Structures are given as structure tokens and as C-alpha cells.
Structure 1
């Protein structure tokens, strides 16, 4: 009771506040997304994501070196193929763009952890995450045939040097099928980071510019989750854990911190949060207009994800965040 209890005593100086801080953001918490495209010497800025670029493999390697030097432990690779088809060939071909980028990064920066996004929407000519019924214009993906493509994609990525496989298509049973395929191919030690609770979110808009993955028709609501559901997220996570996931992810992060917290409460596995493109671009746009302090808002947002329970944060802010943290 006041005046005996004065919580402000422990806020009286920067040193005191650091001593009692409950949540501390570090470079080790962050994963940096990169977008690989065919060609050489290419660095094409994504208009809806200031500071984010589509990069050729040589530029990806240069970025990887910078990321490693900053102390960020991992990158996640997305690919934009030269051509697209109904079989998503660019996703699972041994000479696919993500495979080339993974191999080049591991040769140049072997200690950097390379995560491969294992999905098909960037590689199909219709922009959906798998096979569709002939003539279908709703975007309803055929689940079980798509699992065969995901198996091939995961094994191809692991062969190319990917340290972690991250399936993101929200197909039923995808963790089980990928785990079996990796084990059969001799990659028993390759972890799976499952996009276990991926919502059908409006926050993905700028990413679809970056990855050239906008659906040509329909939407993804038959396989991504309803934003109003939380119990369903727990069910999805539980199933993925039973199927062999080593880590689980919540995507997006900003509007889903309650989901991050609930999942962290139910499992001892590492929980990742994807600070997605729309969340990034809102901060960038407001900062460019002088409406907010970009540094403070970014670090507050990332710290909030960690406070909610995220062990890992995939974020386009990663490099800037680490530089700001080093500044103190």
C-alpha cells in the first residue's frame, strides 16, 4: 500500500530499468526474410515494402554476409522463378531459385542458418498453394496430391543445403508427409518449422508484390485460417506437433499476440512469430510521413512479440533492429 509500495523506484534510471527488465530483445531472436530472383546483379526494390528488395543469388550472398556480421543467426528464403506452371516445378526442381540461393549462401556463409520456405504459391501459374481441380475458379486446393509436391520440394531444398524446412501452405498432414520424406532421404536431422497457425490475413498484401504470388482468382480461405478463430489454432499446432514439427509459427504476429501467448502456454517447443509485410509497411509508411519514431515503434513492436511468447521473430526490420540495439 502507498506510500510503502512505490513501483517507480525501479524505474528511476536506465541502469535500474535494465536490471529489472522482464523481456529483452536480442539479435538471436530474429530471422531475416530474403527474396531470390533469377539473374545477376539484380536488386529490385519492392514498391510496397521500402527497404526490401528482390535479389539475384549473388546479391543474396552479399546480404547473407551482412546479416551474419550483424549477429542475426538465420535467414528465410523465398523464390520467384523464371517461369511458372501447374506443377510448381520451380519449387522442387534441383536447380530452382531457392535451391541455388541456399547452396550459394551455405558455401559463402556456412555458419548462417538457412531456412527454406516450403510452399508452392510463388511457383504455380494460378498463384495458389497446390493443385486445383480442373476448371476450379475458387482456389480450393486439392490437399493430398499437393502433399506429394511438398515432399519433393522439401527434399530438394534439404539437398541444396537448407538447414530448416518451413512448410507454409497449411495443407492437412503436410508436416507428417514432409517429415517422412526427409527421413527417407537421409535428412533425419533437418528440423521442420511449421507455419502451424497461418491466418487468411489482409496483412499479406505487400508480400504478394515481393513474391509475385497474388492468386489469379479466388482466395486462400479454404486452407488458411479464419482470423476470428483461436481454438482452431491450438488444434492445428497440436496436430503439427504430433506429426513431428520441431518448431511452430504464428502468422501474422501483430494482431495475433493472443494466439502466440496461448500456443506458448500449450507447448515447450520454440514458437516463432512472423512480423509480416503489411505490419512492416505500415510502420515504414508512417515513419516516412514523419508520423511516428520508426526506431522506437519497431523495437517496441518486436519486444511485444517476444513478451507475448515468441522465441523467434521473422521480420523485415531485422537488420535495422540490430543496428538500433547495438546503438543502445
Structure 2
């Protein structure tokens, strides 16, 4: 009896055949590696919930950057941890703020490296929220003024990209106007356009020492149940002048990544966040999964979903594994 059916396995018959028809690929230049810069000296603290990720002081930054460059990574995302914090997060926008100091150093020593500056206040405020607080309310418009000052300070220090993550309404419009007026019309904005109030941020809050001291961030970050809201947020940011759109977190929101890719003609960035990274590390340490295969599959899935760039703490590991496979 003759049976008619398709032989899809023809294109899976060998490693070279599979490589020949592979639709999506991972490259070192796809990755943006987050760095936690700690104000002080002789600091290289491994984050307990994120094995392999360190808080580093300026005297250890050059060695860290040399390792990053050696892996072929071309972009870093900077988070600052200041010595002192206050209600307004003044260290975020001072010329001598830790991110401004680190940016100037990186651009001097590694001029080809793309420096993305996270533009927020939570690491710098005593209350741990991403804006100005009155009682237990985060004020929107008053926060914009400080975020603009922060973005301008970061641009003056040499940041290549400003990445506002605060989720205040109008933050892209305000920062774009402020940068333009200050003479930084060519500096792009990588907006955290679609940022959900997620349970996956826990390890990051340890690394950045920026957990809120009261309440939560659900009045400004998005409800995980919502899809259409993502379109409204992204549409606003595109209209206000965003050059990149970030979806954060990554794995639970791959549908949103595809929505953004199908809708907007801008580079789409996914943030493979700390909780996602920590889960894989923990499962691997217990021998439950193979870390290399799992991480590369996750990152490839993010590319397949539509991400052009991936912010990931696994960037150094991924680059090493990709090189081994060549």
C-alpha cells in the first residue's frame, strides 16, 4: 500500500544539514551584558542569588571589561550602587555619580564598547522607588524632571544609549526633549516600553540594592495579565521618540515580544531577567538540567519570538558556549 506523506526529516539528517536550514542564530553582538557598578574600592561581590554575577567597584572594572571584550560582547548596560541615598536620588544625576564615572572610564579605555545607561532612580533613592515620593504615592510629573537630569548627566559622561526603566507616563517624551535641548539629539533612547510588575525581579533587587522600602511598583509597572496594554505603552513611546523597545521580563512574555515585532518597525529588545537566570543556575547546580543546552535554547527562543537584542546575565557563558560549537 502506497502512503503519501511529507518527509520533513530530510532536512534534519545531519548536524551540517540542520545548520544549513537553521532559521535563527545567536551571536555575541546580540547580547547586552548588565553590570553593577558599586561605589567604593576593592569590591567584587558575587550576588548570592545570581552565581557568576558580581558587584564591582571602579578599581575592578577594567578587568571585568577586558573579560567582556574577550568574549566578543559589544554592549553593556550599567546599573549604579551609590554610597549614599536620599529621597530624590541625587547621586543618579550628579556629574560624579557612579554611573557617570564608570561611563567615562569605559569610553576612555574601551571606546568601541556601546554603553547603555539605565536611567532610573530606584538604586539611588532611600525609599527604593523609581521616582519622587509623597507619602506612599509615587509622583509622575515631578519624577520626570529628575529623570531628565539623570539622562542628560549620563549623555554628558559619554553614554551611547539612554535606557529609561522607570515606567513613568511621558518618560520618553520628557527625556527626548531634555536630551535634544542639551545638544544630544543623536543619542538614542532604548525604552523599557513594556515592563511588567513581575515576581522574576527578586535577584536583581539584591544585586542593585534597590528594593522598595514600602509597597510595591504595581502603580507604574504593568499588570502581568494584560496584553493590549503593551500596545498602548509601546505606541506612546514610539510616538514620543523611542529608538528601541524593551520587553521585560523575557520568558513569560514571549507572546508580547512577537506582538511588538509584528507591530513596530524598531529594534525589539528582550530582558532575560535575574529570576530567569537564577532558576537555571539553581536547577543546574542540583543536576536537574544541563545549563549550556538550557540557556542556549532559552536565548534562541527569544530570538525566534522576535527579539533583535537580548539583555542577559548569561551573555559571557553563552558566548563561550557558542565559540565551543564553532
Paired position in structure 1 for 2:268: 271
Counterpart for residue 252 of structure 1: 249
1:161 aligned onto 2:158: yes
Distance of 1:188 and 1:91 partners within structure 2:
21
Among candidates 212, 217, 220, match of residue 220 of structure 1: 217
Structure 1 SS opposite 2:138: coil
2:99 maps to what in 1? Answer: 98
Unaligned runs of 5+ in 2: none
In structure 2, the residue matched to 1:235 is 232
Counterpart contact for 1:155–1:182, Cα < 8 Å: yes
Q: Could you tell me which of 278, 282, 287 is aligned with 1:290?
A: 287
CA distance in 1, matches of 2:204, 2:38: 14
CA distance in 2, matches of 1:269, 1:226: 24
User: Is the CA contact (8 Å cut-off) linking 2:11 and 2:17 kept in structure 1?
Assistant: yes
Q: Distance in 2 between matches of 1:231 and 1:44?
A: 40
Residues 64 and 3 (structure 1), Cα distance of their counterparts in 2 relative to 1, 3 Å cut: farther
Aligned with 2:323 (options 307, 323, 326): 326
**Greater displacement, 112-121 / 64-73:** 64-73
1:83 corresponds to which residue?
Answer: 84
1:113·1:163 contact (CA, 8 Å) conserved in 2?
yes
Distance in structure 2 (CA, Å) of the matches to 1:100 and 1:280: 28
> 1:3, CA displacement in angstroms?
4.7
**TM-fit CA distance, 1:72:** 1.1
Alignment counterpart, residue 187 of structure 1, candidates 178, 184, 187: 184
Moved more, 114-123 or 55-64: 55-64
Contact 1:10 1:20 in 2 (8 A): yes
Q: What is the TM-score normalised by the length of structure 2?
A: 0.98
The DSSP-based 3-state class of the residue aligned with 1:141 is strand
Aligned to 1:144: 141
| Shift, 1:62, TM fit | 2.0
Are 1:80 and 1:123, in contact at CA under 8 Å, matched by a contact in 2?
yes
Q: 1:72 aligned to 2:65?
A: no
Q: Which runs of 4 or more aligned residues in structure 1 lie more than 3 Å from their structure 2 counterparts after TM superposition?
A: 1-4
Cross-structure match for 1:209: 206
RMSD across aligned C-alpha pairs, in angstroms? 1.0
Distance in 1 (alpha carbons) for counterparts of 2:63 and 2:191: 27
Q: What pairs up with 1:105-116 in 2 under 5 angstroms?
A: 105-116=106-117
Q: Deviations over 1:81-117 (max 9, x none)?
A: 1000011111101100111111111111000000000
Q: How many positions carry a matched residue from both structures?
A: 324
Measure how far apart 1:2 and its partner are. Answer: 5.7
Instruction: Encode CA deviations 1:160-181: one digit per residue, 9 max, x unaligned.
Output: 1110000000000000010011
Deviation at 1:4, TM superposition (A): 5.0
CA distance in 2, matches of 1:189, 1:115: 14
**For residues 34-82 of structure 1, what are the alpha-carbon distances to aligned partners after superposition, in whole Å with 9 as ceiling and x for unaligned?**
0001122210011111111100013223222221222111000000010
**Contact kept? 1:34, 1:60, Cα under 8 Å:** no
